Each structure stands twice: as C-alpha cells, then as structure tokens.
C-alpha cells in the first residue's frame, strides 16, 4: 500500500485491480477457500486471482492460512483492516447499482 497525495486516491489505488473489491465483498461473508473464490469469480483467470490475493495480503486487507494437510488447504479471510472498509465498499456497491439503473434507462 502506497500513500498518495489524497486519502481517496490511496484507497482507490489499494483496492483497484481485477476484482479486488469483489474478492473483499465475498470475504465479508466469511472465510473462503481458494477453490470457492475460483467458483465465485469465473470471469478472471486463476493466475490473475492469485495475483490479486497476493496484493491484498501484502496490503494487509486479507490473511492467508495454510493448513498442514495433504492436499494443502488454504483459506482466505479479512483482517481487521479489511473488515473496517466494509461500509465504504457497501457504499460503492450501492453507487454501482445506481449507475447501472441510469445506464439501463439510457439504453431503453
């Protein structure tokens, strides 16, 4: 996470990326295994998902737990910082719905 001139830019730069916001929204519902996230996000490659998860972990928004089992089990969950941004992401989600309604009206 890099600090920007404006806190809004810092926030946006941290969560921008292929489906980072969506990954976080899914983790608000609880821990998820990697395979669950793959199923929930069918429109991105596994390589891109892995990249985004690593970035979110590096930024302190999610944690990765590896269980010493065969085969290895990996779970992702939100950190305290990740939990704190829930109201902001929910607001962005609602804003997106408003924009989608506006787009739908324009297409009619």
User: DSSP string spanning 63-95?
Assistant: EEEEES-SS-EEEEEE-HHHHHTHHHHHHHHHH
Dump pLDDT digits (tens) for 19-43: 899 999 999 999 999 999 999 999 9
Q: What 8-state DSSP symbol labels residue 62?
A: E
Whole-angstrom distance, CA of residue 85 vs CA of residue 44: 23
- What residues does each domain of the chain span? 7-107
Question: Which residues contact residue 82 at a Cβ distance below 8 angstroms, ignoring those fewer than 6 apart?
Answer: 24, 27, 56, 60, 61, 62
pLDDT at 76 over 80: yes
Give the CA count within 13 Å in the CB-facing half-sphere of 103. 6
Question: Which residues contact residue 43 at a Cβ distance below 8 angstroms, ignoring those fewer than 6 apart?
Answer: 19
Dump pLDDT digits (tens) for 46-61: 999 999 999 999 999 9
CB 24 within 8 A of CB 15: yes
How sure is the predictor about 108, in pLDDT bands with cuts at 50, 70 and 90? low
For residues 83-95, average pLDDT: 89
More confident residue, 1 or 62: 62
CATH number of 7-107: 1.10.10.10
Task: List for the chain the helix, strand, coil content (%; round to 5).
Answer: 60, 15, 25
């Amino acid at each position: 996470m890099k600090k920007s001139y404006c806190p809004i830019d810092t926030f946006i730069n941290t969560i921008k990326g292929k489906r980072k916001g969506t990954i976080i929204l899914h983790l608000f519902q609880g821990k998820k295994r990697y395979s669950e996230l793959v199923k929930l996000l069918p429109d991105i490659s596994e390589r891109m998902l892995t990249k985004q998860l690593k970035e979110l972990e590096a930024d302190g928004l999610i944690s990765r737990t590896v269980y010493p089992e065969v085969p290895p089990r990996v779970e992702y969950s939100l950190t305290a910082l990740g939990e704190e941004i829930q109201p902001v992401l929910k607001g962005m989600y609602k804003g997106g719905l408003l924009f989608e309604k506006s787009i739908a009206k324009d297409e009619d």
